[in-house]
Each structure stands twice: as structure tokens, then as C-alpha cells.
Chains A and B, each alone.
Chain A
Amino acid sequence: MTDQAIARRLPVRRGLADRLNLSPQARDNVAGFLFISPWLIHFFMLILFAMISSLGISFLKTDLLTGYKFVGLRNYQSMFDDELFWKAMTITAYYTFTMVPCGTIMALSIALLLNQDIKGLGFWRMVYYLPSVVSGVAVAILWGWVLNPRFGLLNQGLAMIGIPGPRWMYDEIWAVPGFIMMGLWGAGGAMLLYLAGLQGIPTALYEAAKIDGANAWHRFWHVTIPMLTPTIFFNLLMNIIGSFQVFTQSYIMTSGGPNNATLTMVLYLYRKGFEDFKFGYASAIAWALFAIIFVFTIMVVRTSDAWVYYEGKLK
């Protein structure tokens, strides 16, 4: 038996568990549930209740004030004939499938650059991180200016090199790319996570690789990237979940226009609920979105066994 195997069999230290005479697995069950209990309390106290309520509401026709009527699956059925719903879905998918790869590559590249031995590291990191902490309203004002067709920064810059810039937020084709640029500007948040991930790679691995004759490229590809895959996996999933729920930009900056070119799923359900007072339909859309995100999440989670490397994976 190896040391590790012996160690695994050693009892977790004395205490209540011993007096109850539990098997090692039962003890781990108790320990596990104790450790996750804060979240379990949160879940059973608040989240579960809210989720079940919204699911229940999705089978009703209600404005949440004057009464309700049970309509079964009618809310879900009407989605299929709702042109605006499909438009919102297309726009959201377009945003998500552009934003996720671009955002991931952008954040990762910045983090790799800022993990070098450079002068004024703190300053550089701050400049790149800063955009991600500006609050929503200020971002909207800043980008309202940057993307302004007439006096905006971007079009004035483009004019200097002789390119007539598009009308961005006022143009059906260019509005979503404008949002994507805004999103990429906030890549600093994900960058921070990659930086932390890079810090967590034991230097011993690099030394071992060097001794084995690996050059800088090999070390990057066979040490840095595999050790970073848990962080990449995290960012990928969060990016998917977050991008499908994109809302604030459309809500503040364009109100979904022009001609609904920036109508995202969440903005659409928000309108249905809080402007048209069709909370049943709004909840149904939310649950449809939930299902879509869930499917993509499961797909990523399923493939993760093949490409995510955990040093501390439980055998």
C-alpha cells in the first residue's frame, strides 16, 4: 500500500463523528454537507423559493396585481409564433457566440502579457482592470460618447485615417458590434482571474520542465496552459451564462433599438413583464432561456473531462 492510500484510510480526527461511530464515507458525507451548508441555507431559504415561484408564474396569465388565470403551457406555445421572441433569440445568440471566444482570447492574452517581468506592473494592470469596475451608468455615458456617430471618439479617430465610421447605436447592423466592443473593454475582470490562476502554478513545474530541456514555447503549451485550464473553464462557463443574459447595455443605451436590432432575450422578457405586465409570459421566456443556457453548460461540462486538468482531482 502506498503512503497515500494509507493516509486516505486514516480516520479523520476524533470528535463527535467518532462517538457516533460512523463509517469513513458517512463521516465524509457529514463533513461535506457541513462545509456546503451556507450555500444550502441560501438555496433553500431564498433561491429555491424564487425559482419555483417564477416557474409557477410561467403557467399563469397574470399582472401580479389584479389576479391570475391558469393557462397551462399556453405561454410556452405562444413563444413559437412570436416573431420578436425569435429575433431576440437570434440577437442574443449572435452576441454570445461572438463575445465568448473574443472575450476569452482577449482576457487571456492580456493576462499573459501582464504576467511578465515588466516595470510598473501594478500600473499596467490597473489600466487594464479599471474599465471592469466602472459602474453601469458611467459605462453607458462613456460609451454613448465613444460610439456617437458625430462627435464620438471612435468615429473621430476613424475620420483621421480617412474612414467614414458607421452610425453605431443608430444603425441596425453596427449596434451589436458596438456592444461587443463595450464588452471587450471590460475584459479586465476575467484577466484578473487568469492572473490569479497564473500565480497558482507551482514554479517547480517550470524548473522540472527546464531540466527536461523544454523551451519557452513548450513550457507555455505544456505547463502554463494545462495548469490554467480550470480557470479557462470557469471563465468560459461564466461568459456563456453572462452573455446569454446580456441586458444592461441595451436597456440603458438603446432601449432595444434601432428597430429592435439590440433586443436581447432578457430585455424582451423585461419589457413583457415590467412594461406590458405579462409576467406569465415573461417568466416563460426566462425559463426558455434557462433551458438554452443549461444545454450549453452541460455541453461544456461534458467536454471538460477531455481538456480541463485538475492537479487535485479526487481519484
Chain B
Amino acid sequence: MAEMGQRPALLKGQALDWQMVFYKAVHVVGRILLYGILLVGAVVFAMPFIWMFRSSFMPKHLVYNVPIIWIPPRFGLEHYIEPWKSLPFPIFYRNTIFITFMNIIGLVLSSSLVAFGFARIRFWGRDWIFLLLLSTMMLPFQVTMIPIYLFWSRLGAVNTFWPLIVPEWLTNAYNVFLLRQFFMTISPDLDDAARIDGCGWFGIYSRIIVPLSKPALGVIAIQAFAWNWNNFMAPLIYLNEPRNYTIALGLRMFSIGPAGHAVTRYTMADVMAMTIIALIPCLIVFFWAQKRFIQGIVITGVKG
């Protein structure tokens, strides 16, 4: 494998044709190996999903059968229809979509601005403030959640979306740190060029750094989507009325016992079905976004 790139295909000697054949062979073997590894890995990663998928169509008494039944004897939709009818899922979806999209916009904006400040501008106390930023991630939220709850309840914001949206618009340490790492891989020569052309700091941010960081911003958006879509703790604390519930909270209404067994009239298969419905938007967003943001190759005008 390692030899592949070294020899240019310029060897014109007819006598050396076997060498080309050799490289071709190495290439083909390499490809087969690559696909083989990918396939095995993908099967391992996907196995629990396949199980989840088929469980959602299966009569409940067969879910835990030994040996595992991979193909249900009949595909029933009852696990999708019954819970969907019994809970107001459209409302949960509307709430979740609203919160998620608000937060993606806020988070991408605020974290890119803050990360730009840390990555590009030399200001007083920057490195200490950055360490402070990192340290805010080190205290388990289990001990900070009570004071924060008290803060929001004093403001009368419990049972509104404010406690879920405002913190994201003010960014968080994780996303700032992530974007800062990406911004710091961009050559500062570009800043200088922009400055000569009359750009201020904001111009450098909006015309140089943001356009060149599309993959990183795309990743932030993908992760923000998945995080907000699935976020459970914050909605659990702040939203007490079903009309404000998100999907994650709605799923919680199926009430799962410690060993993963459903303890209400809903069955495991119902939970699987609802999880799949909740998961589909994540899939679509990821599939679309990875094509849009991390498939293209970034070409910058400046050589290392």
C-alpha cells in the first residue's frame, strides 16, 4: 500500500509492464481489504439497529426469542399506530422542531463569534479566560443544575422555552473550543491579506474564517441538531406541561424500568418504534449535511 503513490505512472519501458501490473494488483487488494473492513465494522455497528428495526414490527412475545428471529413472521404496524394515537406526538414534534432550529441558528452564530475572538485576536487575559472557559465543563452538571433552575424560576421562565434557548444563543464551552481548534488551522496570512484590503476584525471573520470553516460549522450544526433533538435533561427540568413537551420527553412517557423493560402498558416494541420515528429526522439531516459540508475538499489560496 505504502508504495503506491511513490512511483509515477510515467515508466515508459515496455519491459517494465509487469511492474504496473503489480501496482494494479496491490491497489485492487487494498480496495478489497478496505471494503471488507468497512463492511465488518458496519455490520457490528448496525446490528443493534437492525434488531431495533425488526423489533418495532414484531409481535411482542417474540422480541426476546432465543435464537434471535431476524425477520419477523409478519410485519405489523401496531407499535407505530397505537402509541402515536395515544399521545399528542405532532405537538411534541412542533415543539422540538422549534427549539432545535432556534438553537442551531443561535449556536452557530454565537460560538463562531466567540471562537473567532479566542483563535484570532490577541487581547488582554485571553489565555486565562480560555482556561476558565474549559474549566466550566469540569464540574458535573448534577450539582449546578439546582442553582440554575432557581435562577430561571425566579425569572418566571419555568414552563417556557427560554431556559432551553437562551443558553444556546450565548454559546457553550464545548462548541467554542471545537471551533477555535478549527479556526486555528487556518493560515494567518489570509488575515493579513484581508487587512491590506481594508477588512476589520469583523470582515476577517465573515469573509475569511467563516467561508473557510464550512466543514466545522456544518459539524457544529449537525451536532447541535442531534443534541437538541435528543436533549432530555433540560426539558425534563423546565417543561412540566404536556403541551410544551419535546419528543424526548414524550418518549419518556413510555416509562422504562431499570433493566430496560417497559413497565407500563406500552411494550418494548412500542418504544423501539417511537425511537425510530424520533431518529429519522436525525438521519435525514445528517445525510444531507454531510454531503453539503464534509464531502467537498477545501482549497485555500495560501500554501503552507
Residues of A within 8 A of B (CB): 3-4, 7-8, 10, 12-13, 15, 25, 28-29, 31-36, 38-39, 41-43, 45-47, 49-51, 53-54, 57, 64, 110, 113-114, 116, 118, 121-122, 124-138, 140-146, 150-151, 153, 156, 185, 188-189, 192-193, 195-197, 199-205, 208, 210, 213-217, 219, 227, 230-231, 233-234, 237-238, 241, 245, 247, 252-253, 255, 265-266, 269-270, 273-274, 279, 282-283, 286-287, 289-290, 293-294, 297, 301, 310-315
The verdict on B303 contacting chain A, using a C-beta distance below 8 Å, is yes
Q: Which residues of A contact B120 (CB under 8 A)?
A: 312, 314
Interface residues of B in 104-134 (CB under 8 A from A): 110, 113-114, 116-124, 126, 129, 131-134
Report the Cα distance A293→B173, complex, angstroms: 15
| Count, A-B residue pairs, CB within 8 A | 357
Write the chain B residue with the least CB distance to A274. B142
Produce 1/0 per residue, B50-90, CB < 8 A to A: 01100000000000111110000000000000000000000
Contact flag A216-B230 (CB < 8 Å), given A145-B260, A270-B142: no
Report the Cα distance A313→B186, complex, angstroms: 9
Q: Which residues of A contact B169 (CB under 8 A)?
A: 38
Whether B203 and A130, one on each chain, are in contact in the complex, defined by CB atoms closer than 8 angstroms, is: no
Report the Cα distance A233→B182, complex, angstroms: 11
The verdict on B48 contacting chain A, using a C-beta distance below 8 Å, is yes
Residue in A3, A35, A134 whose Cβ sees the most chain B Cβ within 10 Å:
A35
10 shortest interchain CB distances as A-B pairs = A32-B123, A35-B117, A144-B260, A42-B170, A7-B192, A50-B144, A53-B147, A135-B230, A215-B6, A13-B200
Whether B38 and A118, one on each chain, are in contact in the complex, defined by CB atoms closer than 8 angstroms, is: yes
B219 CB → nearest A CB, Å: 4
Q: Which of B35, B48, B139 contacts A142 (CB 8 A)?
A: B48
Q: Can you list 22 A-B pairs with a CB-CB distance of less than 8 A?
A: A29-B123, A36-B117, A127-B42, A127-B45, A135-B232, A142-B48, A151-B64, A193-B219, A196-B215, A196-B218, A199-B296, A201-B298, A202-B303, A214-B5, A216-B1, A216-B4, A217-B2, A230-B182, A273-B143, A287-B139, A294-B138, A297-B138
A29 CB → nearest B CB, Å: 5
Report the Cα distance A280→B175, complex, angstroms: 31
Report the Cα distance A153→B183, complex, angstroms: 43
Write the chain A residue with the least CB distance to B231. A135
The verdict on B25 contacting chain A, using a C-beta distance below 8 Å, is no
A88 CB → nearest B CB, Å: 12
Q: Which of B147, B188, B294 contacts A199 (CB 8 A)?
A: B294
Report the Cα distance A54→B114, complex, angstroms: 26
Whether A202 and B52, one on each chain, are in contact in the complex, defined by CB atoms closer than 8 angstroms, is: no
Report the Cα distance A140→B271, complex, angstroms: 12
Q: Which residues of B contact A294 (CB under 8 A)?
A: 135, 138
B50 CB → nearest A CB, Å: 10
The verdict on B187 contacting chain A, using a C-beta distance below 8 Å, is yes
Whether A126 and B287, one on each chain, are in contact in the complex, defined by CB atoms closer than 8 angstroms, is: yes
Write the chain A residue with the least CB distance to B2. A217
Q: Which residues of B contact A116 (CB under 8 A)?
A: 34
Contact flag A215-B66 (CB < 8 Å), given A28-B123, A135-B278, A253-B258: no
The verdict on B46 contacting chain A, using a C-beta distance below 8 Å, is yes
Produce 1/0 per residue, B176-194, CB < 8 A to A: 1110011111111100110
Q: Which residues of A contact B290 (CB under 8 A)?
A: 122, 125-126, 129, 192, 195
Whether A314 and B122, one on each chain, are in contact in the complex, defined by CB atoms closer than 8 angstroms, is: yes
A302 CB → nearest B CB, Å: 11
Q: Which residues of B contact A42 (CB under 8 A)?
A: 167, 170-172
Whether B142 and A269, one on each chain, are in contact in the complex, defined by CB atoms closer than 8 angstroms, is: yes
Tally of contact residues, B, Cβ under 8 A: 128
Report the Cα distance A156→B3, complex, angstroms: 42
Whether A312 and B184, one on each chain, are in contact in the complex, defined by CB atoms closer than 8 angstroms, is: yes
Q: Which of B2, B133, B143, B178 contacts A39 (CB 8 A)?
A: B133
The verdict on B20 contacting chain A, using a C-beta distance below 8 Å, is no
Q: Which of B51, B135, B222 contacts A145 (CB 8 A)?
A: B51
Report the Cα distance A31→B215, complex, angstroms: 26
Q: Which residues of B contact A10 (CB under 8 A)?
A: 195-196
B38 CB → nearest A CB, Å: 6
Write the chain A residue with the least CB distance to B149. A50
Report the Cα distance A29→B142, complex, angstroms: 35
Q: Which of A8, A124, A142, A283 contacts B51 (CB 8 A)?
A: A142
The verdict on B146 contacting chain A, using a C-beta distance below 8 Å, is yes
Contact flag A253-B260 (CB < 8 Å), given A113-B34, A215-B3, A234-B181: yes
Report the Cα distance A131→B134, complex, angstroms: 27
A221 CB → nearest B CB, Å: 10
The verdict on B282 contacting chain A, using a C-beta distance below 8 Å, is yes
Q: Which of B52, B110, B138, B256 contacts A293 (CB 8 A)?
A: B138
Write the chain A residue with the least CB distance to B124. A29
Whether A64 and B5, one on each chain, are in contact in the complex, defined by CB atoms closer than 8 angstroms, is: no
5 further A-B pairs in the complex, CB-CB below 8 A; given A28-B122, A53-B144: A32-B122, A47-B144, A53-B146, A143-B48, A153-B47
Q: Which residues of B contact A118 (CB under 8 A)?
A: 34-35, 38
Q: Which residues of A contact B38 (CB under 8 A)?
A: 113-114, 118, 124
The verdict on B164 contacting chain A, using a C-beta distance below 8 Å, is no
Q: Which residues of A contact B116 (CB under 8 A)?
A: 35
Report the Cα distance A35→B68, complex, angstroms: 56
Write the chain A residue with the least CB distance to B222. A192
Write the chain A residue with the least CB distance to B251. A137
